[in-house]
C-alpha cells in the first residue's frame, strides 16, 4: 500500500475511534449515526456505551493496520444495516419531510462512512458508495447554498461563491470517482480539499466550543477527517492497483 493509503487509513481510523470516545463521553450517539427520536435506545445507556466501545476498538484496529479486512467489513456491515433498516424506514414512515433532499443528509453520511470502511478494506464497492455520497453532498451545497454560508468563517469573503465552488468540486470529483475517470487524481484532490476544510473550518469551531451540549462540532470535524482519509486511501489504492495489474 502507498503512503496515501496509509495516511488515509490512519485518518479514517482516528475519526472512528474518536467518535467512539465521544459517544461514551456524551452518553449519546453522534447526531448522524442513527435517526433522531431514538428514545428506545437512549434509555439503554449500556447500548450506547457498547456502541462507543466498539467504534473505538474498530478505529484503533484500523489505525494499527491489523486484521483490516474483518474489522472494516464488520464496521461497513453495521453501518449499511443501520442505513437500510433504520434510516430508510424512518425517513419513509416517520419523517414528515422525507421528500426534502436535505432530510437524507445524515443517511448519506452513514453511507459514506460505510463506503470508507470498504475502501480501507480494499473492496471496490466502497468506491461506489463513497462516490454516491460525495455527489449527494455536492448537490446539497447547491440546494442549501444560502444556509451553508452561515457555517463559514467571517474572514472568508465571497462566501456564496465558495459554497458553489465547493459544491462543484464535490459533484465533479464524485462523478469522476464513480465513473472511474482518473480516480487517483480526483480522489487526492478531494482529500486535500477536505483536509483544508478540517484545518480552516472545523478545528477553529471545535476550539471555540470544545464542550458543546452534544459534541456536534467535534463530531462534524471527525466526519470531515474521515472523508479526507477515505479519499486519500482511495487515491492510494488506485495507485497500488495500477502498479500491480
- The boundaries of the domain holding residue 142 are 3-243
The whole-number pLDDT of residue 169 equals 97
Quick: pLDDT tens for 27-65.
888 888 887 765 555 567 888 899 999 999 999 999 999
Quick: pLDDT tens for 190-201.
999 999 999 999
Distance CA 65, CA 108 (A): 26
| DSSP SS3 for 152 | coil
* 10-14, 15-19, 100-104, 146-150, range with the lowest pLDDT: 100-104
Provide the pLDDT confidence category of residue 118 given band limits of 50, 70 and 90: very high
Of 27-36, 172-181, 232-241, which has the strongest mean pLDDT? 172-181
Structural domain count of the chain: 1
Amino acid at each position: 500500500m502507498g503512503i496515501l493509503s496509509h495516511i488515509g487509513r490512519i485518518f479514517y481510523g482516528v475519526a472512528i475511534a474518536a467518535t467512539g470516545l465521544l459517544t461514551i463521553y456524551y452518553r449519546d450517539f453522534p447526531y448522524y449515526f442513527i435517526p433522531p427520536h431514538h428514545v428506545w435506545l437512549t434509555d439503554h445507556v449500556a447500548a450506547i456505551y457498547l456502541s462507543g466501545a466498539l467504534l473505538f476498538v474498530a478505529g484503533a484496529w484500523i489505525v494499527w493496520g491489523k486484521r483490516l479486512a474483518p474489522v472494516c467489513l464488520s464496521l461497513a456491515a453495521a453501518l449499511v444495516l443501520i442505513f437500510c433498516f433504520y434510516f430508510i424506514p424512518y425517513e419513509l414512515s416517520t419523517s414528515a419531510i422525507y421528500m426534502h433532499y436535505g432530510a437524507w443528509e445524515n443517511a448519506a453520511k452513514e453511507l459514506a462512512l460505510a463506503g470508507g470502511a470498504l475502501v480501507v478494506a480494499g473492496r471496490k464497492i466502497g468506491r461506489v458508495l463513497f462516490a454516491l455520497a460525495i455527489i449527494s453532498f455536492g448537490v446539497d451545497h447547491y440546494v442549501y447554498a444560502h444556509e451553508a454560508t452561515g457555517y463559514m468563517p467571517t474572514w472568508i469573503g465571497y462566501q456564496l461563491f465558495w459554497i458553489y465552488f465547493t459544491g462543484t468540486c464535490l459533484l465533479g470529483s464524485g462523478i469522476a470517482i464513480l465513473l472511474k475517470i482518473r480516480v487517483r487524481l480526483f480522489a487526492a484532490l478531494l482529500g486535500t480539499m477536505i483536509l483544508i476544510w478540517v484545518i480552516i473550518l472545523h478545528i477553529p469551531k471545535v476550539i471555540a466550543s470544545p464542550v458543546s451540549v452534544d459534541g456536534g462540532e467535534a463530531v462534524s470535524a471527525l466526519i470531515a477527517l474521515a472523508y479526507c482519509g477515505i479519499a486519500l486511501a482511495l487515491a492510494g489504492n488506485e495507485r497500488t492497483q495500477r502498479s500491480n495489474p
